[in-house]
Amino acid sequence: MDKKRKNPWSFISTKKIYDNPWIRIQEDQIVNPAGKPGIYGKVCFKSQAVGIIPVDAQGNTWLVGQHRYTLNEWSWEIPMGGSPLGEDCQKTALRELEEETGLTAGNLQQILYLHTSNSITDEEAYVFLASDLGQGVMSLEDTEHDLEVKKLPLSEAVKMAQNGQITDAISVAGLLHLALLADKYGIKYDG
């Protein structure tokens, strides 16, 4: 990230188009890098995305599957949720892991930071590796009652990300990152 570069965009004003508990959509009046006036639509998230890749000592992980309303299709993903702005993302990660899978983690470390769709949103995402796993209690939200949990070798989850069975961007990025750097994180990975 090169923060020393000068911003070629000029901001003039903003107008709120839509607002709900999760997102705000705004339309900004701007001057673009070519010096011409224009508009820019922006989706502002009211939470940060938090993804968790739990891995046990045998090299297994857990995925969650659910029907995604926005896509009108089933989606396999790493456990994840939204961390309200101002809340510690690690706290959210531990809570979401237990809520969605029933697992607790004795060790949690951030392995990735990314932007999900930086041309139209300001959403930030954090991916954590969870290890030293124990059994907790699942506690699904109302929107997650169709959720399925699948335990499988990490190498199979990575193959699902490679062959298009997993399409969620945070899940794909997190799984491929972990596969490439498994040794660095001390993770058993037979891929």
pTM of the model: 0.91
The partner residues of 78 in beta bridges, in order of sequence, read none
For residue 188, pLDDT beyond 90: no
What pLDDT shows up at residue 144? Answer: 67
Residue whose structure tokens are 């899978």 = 101
Closest among 96, 107, 104 to 139, alpha carbons compared: 96
* Average pLDDT, integer, range 63-78: 94
Q: What rounded mean pLDDT belongs to the chain?
A: 94
Find the radius of gyration of the CA atoms of the chain.
19
Quickly list DSSP for the chain: --TTSPP--EEEEEEEEEE-SSEEEEEEEEE-TTS-EEEEEEEEESEEEEEEEEB-TTSEEEEEEEEETTTTEEEEE-SEEEEETTS-HHHHHHHHHHHHHSEEEEEEEEEEEEES-TTTB--EEEEEEEEEEEE------GGGTT-EEEEEEHHHHHHHHHTTS---HHHHHHHHHHHHTHHHHT-----
Q: Convert the pLDDT of each residue in 48-67 to its tens digit.
A: 999 999 999 999 999 999 99
User: CA–CA distance from 155 to each of 37, 55, 61, 160 (Å)?
Assistant: 49, 11, 9, 9
Q: Is the dihedral of CA 55, 179, 80, 146 positive or negative?
A: negative
CATH class for the region spanning 47-185: alpha beta
For residue 46, pLDDT beyond 80: yes
Domain ranges (residues) in the chain: 10-45, 47-185
**Which is more confidently placed, 139 or 84?**
84
- With pLDDT > 90 as the criterion, what percentage of the chain qualifies? 86
Q: Convert the pLDDT of each residue in 88-107 to its tens digit.
A: 999 999 999 999 999 999 99
Per-residue confidence band for 1, with pLDDT thresholds at 50, 70 and 90: low
What pLDDT shows up at residue 117? Answer: 92
What pLDDT shows up at residue 191? Answer: 79
